[in-house]
Amino acid sequence: MGGVAVPSISPPSAPSRGSFATPVSQVSTALQLDEPASTPERIIEAALISFGTRGYDASSLDVLADRLGLRKQTILYWFTSKEHLLEAVIDRSAHELSETFEEALSDAGTGWERVEAVVRSVFRLAARRPELLGLVRETNRLGMAATNRMIAALEPLVTRASEFLEAEMEAGAMKRHEPHLLLLALYSTVIGMVTEVEVLRAFGEEPTTRSLVRRRTQILALLRAALMTQPQ
């Protein structure tokens, strides 16, 4: 792996305090029984920002604790290791991505409008929450264990997307492709284009609203021509 430290990531499992495996959607309610209630959430959020912007390997629990005004032992009380903290961050990120896409799709119509709604929501994330997309990119870099955990957390959304694509192809609205391979291609294209924005930021070039809109327009045109039987 060229010297890259690959964390040992487990699939989502039974709840425990150390692995923080409670479903993220239940975290806020569950934490109301603990004092202080916000500590685990603050740790996850700070780790998400650090992992998504600096990278997992470059993020230190000591620095994270210092930024939060906590002791390192407090982080390790809630998350028994840096790897367990990464698991919690991946689960939180998958939950946030799912909510973002669900919200985008709730107001979308049918067919191409649903594809467009998802793409637009990803570009909004690039502008509003870049660390989240940075975390997605970092998860891919960390190898199959981290990637598989993200995929498992997103599985319900992936299943629905595959069923949607299959139905559109059966109806003749979209060109025939294998749904899962098509999803992978769509994911790689959209995330690749959006995380290019993060590369620009790393080199000190802040993307503008105009540049984001231009990239979004380009990728929508590309996808429409590639997917639809009657692109307009």
On whether the CB atoms of residues 24 and 101 are closer than 8 A, the answer is no
180 within some domain: yes
Whether residue 117 is found in the same domain as residue 149: yes
Domain identity same for 146 and 214:
yes
Q: Please report the pLDDT score of residue 47 as a whole number.
A: 97
pLDDT of residue 17: 41
Residue type, 101: F
Query: Same domain, yes or no, for 105 and 65?
Result: no
Inter-CA distances, 117 with 114, 130, 184, 198, Å: 5, 18, 18, 22
Q: Are residues 77 and 113 in the same domain?
A: no
- The predicted pLDDT at position 199 comes to 62
Do 118 and 70 belong together in one domain? no
- Helices 209-227 and 112-128, axial angle in degrees (round to 10): 150
> Does 56 share its domain with 158?
no
Low-confidence ranges of the chain (pLDDT < 50): 1-6, 11-37
- What is the CATH classification number for the domain harbouring 97? 1.10.357.10
In a domain, 14, yes or no: no
User: 85 and 43 in contact (C-beta within 8 Å)?
Assistant: yes
112 and 183 together in one domain: yes
Q: What is the pLDDT of residue 125?
A: 85
- Same domain for 109 and 74, yes or no, is no
What is the pTM (predicted TM-score) of this model? 0.75
Q: How many domains does the chain have?
A: 2
pLDDT per residue over 194-225, tens digit each?
Answer: 666 666 666 666 667 787 788 889 889 988 99
Same domain? 73 vs 99: no
The last residue of one of the domains, among 82, 105, 130, is: 82
| Residue 120, domain extent | 90-227
DSSP track, 83-145: HHHHHHHHHHHHHHHHHHHHHHHHT--STHHHHHHHHHHHHHHHHH-HHHHHHHHHHHHT-HH
Q: Do 104 and 78 have their domain in common?
A: no
How far, in Å, CA of 78 to CA of 46, rounded?
14
What integer pLDDT is reported at residue 109 of this predicted model?
83
142 domain-assigned:
yes
pLDDT, tens only, 44-55: 999 999 999 899
Domain end (from 63, 82, 101):
82
Does residue 5 lie in a domain region? Answer: no
| CATH number, position 29 | 1.10.10.60
Strand partners, 191: none
